[in-house]
Amino acid sequence: MRVQVQTAPFDPATELAGFARGRHDIGATVSFTGLVRDDTGQLVALDIEHYPGMTEAAITAMVDEAVARWQLVDCRVIHRFGHLTPGEPIMMVATAARHRAEAFAAAEFLMDYLKSRAPFWKKEITDQGGDWVKAKDSDEDALTRW
Amino acid sequence: MIEVLYFAWVRERIGLARETVETSAATPAALVAELAAREPRYAAAFADTSALRVALDQTLASFDAPLAGVREVAFFPPMTGG
């Protein structure tokens, strides 16, 4: 299990290369990568602020819960902060379990919780200035299924 | 004495990332009332606490949770990770 909160860019393929490798008790791995999306063609950058200390603790608690609920054999979370440009990976979740249902469910759980329970705040930077991204009610509602 | 941290637009409105506050407030709600009474920039940041979240010693909490023994309080908007 590994949690990384970092400013540095990462390459999902490189990060996944060694994930769950060499184990014989894993039947399924699932990975998700979130990218900086530009809906308007105006986005210059995404500035991501976080709460050092709480971020790592909150994500580690989510990972511990996911591991326990879905008996994950391995799990990785990478989440960046700082100045990101369109197309760059923001975050990655990878889960490894005996069966695909557990690997998928745990990955979705972690993505839902990262969205509204990990202390990150996104600001969209355009030529006109910066706008804090507003949390969506649907993101909060997504937690009720867990 | 308590460390108070602000993030995202709360930080921008108040113009500070953190400060040490002398307070005897029993809850985050009472601390918010004290801070909002200080200056308009605090009042503006805390105008609608339903739009805010609070963490006590780096754990999410409610605005009526006890502050006794807490060293670090953080105020911020709903999180937008992922």
In chain A, residues with a C-beta closer than 8 Å to the C-beta of B80 are 115-116, 120-122, 132-135
Domain that holds residue B6: 2-76
Establish if A46 touches chain B: CB-CB under 8 angstroms. Answer: no
Residue A35 at interface with chain B, using a CB cutoff of 8 Å: no
| A39-59 confidence digits (pLDDT tens) | 999 999 999 999 999 999 999
Question: Please, are residues B10 and B74 in contact by the beta-carbon 8 Å criterion?
Answer: no
The per-residue pLDDT of chain B, averaged, comes to: 97
Q: What percent of chain A has pLDDT over 90?
A: 91
pLDDT category of residue A11 using cuts at 50, 70 and 90: very high
In a domain, B9, yes or no: yes
Structural domain contains residue B81: no
In the predicted model, what is the mean pLDDT of chain A?
Answer: 96
CATH number at residue A108: 3.90.1170.40
Range of the domain at A47: 2-132
Q: How far apart are CA B13 and CA A29, in angstroms?
A: 44
Query: Does A122 contact B at CB distance below 8 Å?
Result: yes
Within a domain: B19: yes
| Res. A26 pLDDT band, cuts 50 70 90 | very high
- CB contacts under 8 A, A 14-33 vs B, are none
Nearest CA in chain B to A61: B59
pLDDT of residue A82: 98
Q: Give the mean model confidence (pLDDT) for residues B15-44.
A: 97
Provide the number of structural domains found in chain A. Answer: 1
Give the one of B55, B59, B77 whose C-beta lies nearest to A121's C-beta. Answer: B77
Q: Does residue A139 lie within any of the structural domains?
A: no
> Is residue A77 in a domain?
yes
How do residues A65-115 score in pLDDT, each as one tens digit? Answer: 999 999 999 999 999 999 999 999 999 999 999 999 999 999 999 999 999
Flag whether pLDDT at A122 surpasses 90: yes
Can you give the pLDDT at residue B44? 96
Give the pairing of strands A89-97 and A2-6: unpaired
- Residue A6 CA to residue B34 CA, distance in Å, equals 36
Instruction: Check residue A140 and give its pLDDT.
Output: 87
> Could you tell me if residue A100 is inside a domain?
yes
* Averaged pLDDT for residues B43-65: 96
Asked if the structure places residue A105 within a domain, the reply is yes
A135/B81 touch (CB, cutoff 8 Å), yes or no: no
A41, part of any domain: yes
Q: At residue A129, does pLDDT exceed 90?
A: yes
Residue B33 in any domain: the answer is yes
Within a domain: A120: yes
Beta strands, E only, chain B = 2-6, 18-21, 53-56, 59-61, 72-76
Contact A135, A121 (CB under 8 A): no
Contact flag B80-A120 (C-beta cutoff 8 Å): yes
Please tell me the total count of domains within chain B. 1
pLDDT at B21: 97
* B82 lies in some domain: no
Residue B36 sits in a domain of what CATH number? 3.10.20.30
In this prediction, residue A35 carries a pLDDT of: 97
